A and B are shown apart, each in its own frame.
Chain A
């Protein structure tokens, strides 16, 4: 057995999976509370990625950076999370809020429209070409080319370490927030039963805004992670990533946060092992086929509870 290939694909899968898991978390949170498939979520990830790219450009481009790299990374994350979160809140306020009690098809189609608008608006403003984070070949710290070696001669770059550690930090923070704070409690209550939560005096509007903000901020951070690990950003990157994140959320059990993380990792691993062992052209098809199988065998996802239809 070729252990080198195995370990390399494992590391790549976990890295990719962490990015998917972060996107899937926001998607799952919003679905849990609003029962809304937010197709625009992937595009917020794209916006986060471009905010990070914009900061690199503002500070002189990756090769002639004026500022300390750690400072820049922190700034990129803060701005991408804040920017992504604000876009998410705006989308909720202006596109979805009026449709909260509309038939299910209305918000879904609106979400498709928002996604289309964000993608093509970004293409108009930013251009259709790929932009690159320029592999962080910075004079003092070359993150992407620096690496350490695991057993079986598999290389792990610092960029991958940043992505995985950063994703874990964010997930722990989110878990603490949802489990330990007053707002987190309100959020869980709203997800459980929105009407009853409103009757108990919970400000449901505020909870929804907070959920959109946090979910979109996570997507924005995921965009920066993706840029650090894979360099390429372009306006249509959000659609495919969004699809994979939906897959992750659905596989794990939609509305279930640990499930979203598990699903994200599974999708990342499936994708990278499919690329390494089966066929690089059909990795996307393999991921979709995996989703369809999970949906048919266990429609509520791996960790989700079966939906009971109440009359």
Chain B
């Protein structure tokens, strides 16, 4: 007790200061998110402060920032990237309901996206001579996709965990096969074949959006339509998240058996989750078809599915802010990779940031950097005298940074073969790093860093389309091993 203060004449009831809500009561369950582990340190403090700001304020801030973006640039390419990012956000939002809230692993999710796109394309293109009004198509397609999701979930509702993943994966593959070969549909080879989806040629000449006489023909127009749709869907999902249904989904995710024992209609909730996710994916598909004015089956393959999963996992499954952040990080960085100069900058900045964050104390970091730079100049000097062709190429960036790299790094004139070997060696080196620690790791880090920059300059930056997919794979593996809850997710405190 504090000796300097007066003692209260009437002592407080021992439980008065405590949380008045009791365990198991509805508002205790509702504030369950609050009782989560925030970790320690500066990041955790920032996070705690940020959590006091109400969520809708965040979303509104994001909406305003996103709405201002096209005003600051005359470059349609940037707006296009923004549009794609919004599409990914919408997709991740739908997947968030199924995976993040209800905890159902849906590996056929992209099929619904494709279904929406093909549905829009069929109803608004010369393919069947149909040119419906967009305002009529959108509800029809969304409802149809939701029903499809319902139908896929209907037989799967009895399945548990992994089996559900397998069945949905196969549903997804089934749809991709149908989209791909849909130009020769015939019933068991008996009837004459019909052309439904145009097969590998896809459906061209799809109409643009036409919202009640307002023709949307430009990327900027689509950007704003996508933004409005995204904010509306985000609002709906946010409200659902707070509702009884949202809480029931989360209880389903935490422990389906316990949820069922508590009287929660588990099977019905699974169906609703699937249908909601599918409906959002279908809606996104119509946007995609409207802007691109063509759909191909290649747009809805496993790569797209894995990118959406990477977004969801990176942001943190179950977190709405995480969906926005994840889509921004993943899609923008994948886009940046297309321009070698920018990509190299990002590569070195990320590398440096990781080192600064992970290598402590700073003396050790300084030793590491000096050693790496020294190794580079030494290697460059040796190679340039012994094998001049080894330094013939030049760095992928210009300016002072590129000049510096040219004197430091090896650029063989024909880097393909040696670059491939170095890539394999780099994979082994990184794996080795995870097995040793202390000064050994520090010593091994020096050549590994040099090797990484060699591989990056000579191999990865040259083939951005493969590199982005490799990076997605690495992100998934590393994230799941290091921080399974994602960037904005919080790890739960087990309450026993």
Q: Are B159 and A299 interface neighbours, CB within 8 A? A: yes
- B3: interface (CB < 8 Å): no
With both chains docked as a complex, state the minimum distance between the C-beta of A286 and any C-beta of chain B, in angstroms.
9
Contacting pair B181 A113 (CB below 8 A):
no
Minimum CB–CB distance from B496 to chain A (whole Å) comes to: 16
Q: Note all chain A residues with C-beta closer than 8 A to B352.
A: none
Q: Are B173 and A120 in contact (CB under 8 A)?
A: no
CB of B302 within 8 A of chain A? yes
Count how many pairs of residues, one from A and one from B, have CB atoms less than 8 Å apart in the complex. 133
Minimum CB distance partner of A107 in chain B: B480
Contact mask for chain B residues 66-90; partner A; CB cutoff 8 A; 1 contact, 0 none: 0000000000000000000000000
CB pair B423–A113 under 8 Å, yes or no, is no
Tell me if B270 counts as interface (CB < 8 A to partner A).
no
- Give the dominant DSSP class at B's interface: helix
With A105-B103, A110-B481 known as contacts, the answer to whether A282 contacts B162 (CB < 8 A) is no
Asked if A288 and B174 sit within 8 Å, CB to CB, the answer is: yes
A109-B170 contact, Cβ under 8 Å, with A37-B162, A90-B431, A279-B189: no
* B476 lies within 8 A of A299 (CB): no
CA distance A107 to B469 in the complex (A): 19
A9-46 near B? 1/0 per residue, CB < 8 Å: 00000000000000000000000000101000000000
Tell me if A70 is interfacial: C-beta within 8 Å of chain B.
no
Query: Nearest residue in A to B180 (C-beta to C-beta)?
Result: A281
Task: Indicate whether B348 reaches chain A with its CB closer than 8 angstroms.
Answer: no
User: In residues 94-124 of chain A, which contact B (Cβ within 8 Å)?
Assistant: 94-95, 98-99, 102-110, 112-121, 123-124
Indicate if B474 sits at the interface (CB-CB under 8 A): yes
Measured in the bound complex, the distance between the Cα atoms of B459 and A37 in whole Å is: 32
A116-B476 in contact (CB<8A): yes
Docked pose: A292 CA to B173 CA in angstroms:
12
Q: Which residues in A have their C-beta under 8 angstroms from that of B188?
A: 278-279
Chain A residues with CB below 8 A from B325, complex form:
none
Stretch from A138-146, A206-214, A243-251, A256-264 at the B interface: A243-251
A52 to B317, CA, bound (A): 41
Instruction: Report yes or no: B480 in contact with A110, Cβ–Cβ below 8 A.
Output: yes
Contact (Cβ within 8 A) B163 A295: yes
CB contact under 8 A between A121 and B158, given known A109-B309, A112-B306, A299-B163: no
- A125–B481 contact, CB under 8 A? no
Residues of B within 8 A of A (CB): 99, 103, 105, 155, 158-163, 165-167, 169-171, 173-174, 177-178, 181, 184, 186, 188-189, 257, 302-303, 306, 309, 313, 317, 420, 423-424, 427, 431, 434, 459-460, 463, 466-467, 469-470, 472-477, 480-481, 484
26 A-B pairs (CB sep. < 8 Å) = A98-B481, A104-B105, A104-B161, A105-B99, A105-B317, A106-B484, A108-B162, A109-B476, A113-B476, A113-B477, A113-B480, A116-B472, A116-B473, A120-B473, A121-B473, A250-B166, A279-B186, A281-B181, A281-B184, A282-B177, A288-B170, A291-B170, A292-B155, A292-B167, A296-B155, A311-B257
